[in-house]
Structure 1
Amino acid sequence: MEETMYDKLLQLPLFQGICKNDFTTILEKVKLHFHKYTPNTSIVKQGTTCKQLIFILSGSVQSESADSRHSYTIEETFTEPHVIEPYSLFGMHTSYTASYKALTEVTALIIDKSYVVAQLNNYEIFRLNYLNILSNRAQTIYNKLWNAHIGNTRNKIINFLLLRCASQTGPKTLYIKMEVLAELIDDTRINVSKVLNEFQQQGLAELSRKKIIIPELKPLAEEYENSFTLHSLTKE
């Protein structure tokens, strides 16, 4: 395996901290599947069973998560290195929560669940990395849920996005009716429209019919975090 491929694999969250000797041993025992995807090719579909770990080694991937009950969809973009839904491999609900497709030429490494359990799980660093990923996700979602309907309309809209996006950085596209968003955050349509137009004026969003484009979520995520940090300090 080329040195650059080694380096990319070791950058992945699940493999960070594993020395190259151990990693060489892992590669000798674990059956690896390398797959190339052309632009607009489907990688996995939302709702299908997760039976493998998919590591994006090169290229960009778009996820699309649809909520059929409330009629909205969120799109996100991820770049390498990235692991697709490692949290969906175990638990009561082992289905992908989103669909993923290649935006550019994509190279992916695929490892079946059986090898994760039988071989990778034997390495303490891998187990700790996996536990950290699952724990961080659970803690983050808990905090978002706790503050779901707290604060002004602006904070509630930001939290709606943060709660439903896998990453707090990068571009996001939300397909939703204004009245549906207002209902889901327990607010009025007028307030939601006013705040979204403020976002647009500030360069934080682009609005069109039933579509909200967030060029970069990070500024909104930082604003949300700072608002509650400031609130906690003033209470003290």
Structure 2
Amino acid sequence: MQEDKLYDTLLNLPLFLGMSRADLLQIAGHTKFDFQKIEGGETLTEIGEPYHRLLFLLSGEVAVETMADDRGYRIVETIKAPEVFMIERLFGYDQHSPHHYVARNDCSLMSISKKEVLRLAKQYEIFHINLLNLISTQAQRSNRRLFRVPPKTLSDSIIRFFENHCLRPAGEKNFHIKMDRLAQELNVKRLKVSVALNELETQGLIELHRGRISIPALEKLINR
């Protein structure tokens, strides 16, 4: 019964897509999974913490905070289950978390050690291919950002800044950034940034607060 429940869980995760029922049941019975339930407000991972496992969000919502190198601004976005976190940080020269993860409500988590991930990749070709596809897709998306058509207006430049600094191009985002800093990032005068932001607020796409820009749905802002 426990293996059947774990089988249903694995079916919803991208790393296990396309695998047969027999393989998934075998994985459920022979792989060491760590399950955890946390309450809203609890921290999952700190910025700079070593990342030597794959962490899956099975249910709930998580606030992900990313900070500029000089701590001059930060972005907080909401990620909903199901999700796998920081798959690209499991390998490579920097195997530390660049984000701060905090549960927004009660969450169910599952993690697999790096050692188990390597074993599964060696034993199951589909798992190996899924792993490579996820990492490759992230690398390709990052590369294509360098060759996109330049923004035509200041509003477009502001929206592009928001989009480029988020993990996902959709959902709720909060940019804790002052207009002076945003103007510096875009190399324009603060007054022009203020005018453009107020226009976007008038359209109902963003909400302006003291030192914070709230975006209810980034996908609507991008597709305005």
Normalising TM by the smaller chain, what interval?
over 0.9
1:130-158 per-residue CA deviation (whole Å, 9 max, x = no partner) reads: 22222221222222233496432112111
Check 1:8–1:195 CA distance in 2 against 1; reply closer, same or farther (3 A cut). Answer: farther
Name 2:45's counterpart in structure 1: 44
Residue type at the aligned position of 1:174: F
Indicate conservation of the 8 Å contact 2:120/2:127, yes or no: no
Residue type at the aligned position of 1:146: F
Name 1:161's counterpart in structure 2: 162
Check 1:148–1:73 CA distance in 2 against 1; reply closer, same or farther (3 A cut). Answer: farther
Name 1:101's counterpart in structure 2: 102
Q: Which runs of 5 or more residues in structure 2 are unaligned?
A: none
Residue 128 of structure 1 deviates from its aligned partner by 1.8
How far apart, in 2, do the equivalents of 1:198 and 1:95 lie?
A: 39
Name 1:91's counterpart in structure 2: 92
Residue 3 of structure 1 deviates from its aligned partner by 4.8
Check 1:70–1:45 CA distance in 2 against 1; reply closer, same or farther (3 A cut). Answer: closer
* Local SS of the residue matching 1:63: strand
Bigger shift: residues 126-135 or 204-213: 126-135
Residue type at the aligned position of 2:144: N
1:69-218 paired onto structure 2 within 5 Å: 69=70, 71-147=72-148, 150-218=151-219
1:6-62 per-residue CA deviation (whole Å, 9 max, x = no partner) reads: 333211111111122111111223211001111100000111111100111111111
Check 1:151–1:11 CA distance in 2 against 1; reply closer, same or farther (3 A cut). Answer: same
Bigger shift: residues 56-65 or 13-22: 13-22
How far apart, in 2, do the equivalents of 1:22 and 1:141 lie?
A: 33
CA RMSD across the alignment:
1.8
- Identical aligned pairs, as a percentage? 34
How far apart, in 1, do the equivalents of 2:209 and 2:165 lie?
A: 20
TM-score, normalising length from structure 1? Answer: 0.88
How far apart, in 1, do the equivalents of 2:221 and 2:30 lie?
A: 44
Residue type at the aligned position of 1:166: L
How far apart, in 1, do the equivalents of 2:119 and 2:184 lie?
A: 46
How far apart, in 1, do the equivalents of 2:77 and 2:187 lie?
A: 24
* Local SS of the residue matching 1:14: helix
Q: Which runs of 5 or more residues in structure 1 are unaligned?
A: 224-236
* Local SS of the residue matching 1:157: helix
Check 1:20–1:101 CA distance in 2 against 1; reply closer, same or farther (3 A cut). Answer: same
Check 1:5–1:70 CA distance in 2 against 1; reply closer, same or farther (3 A cut). Answer: same
Residue type at the aligned position of 2:86: E
Aligned residues: 223
Residue type at the aligned position of 1:37: I
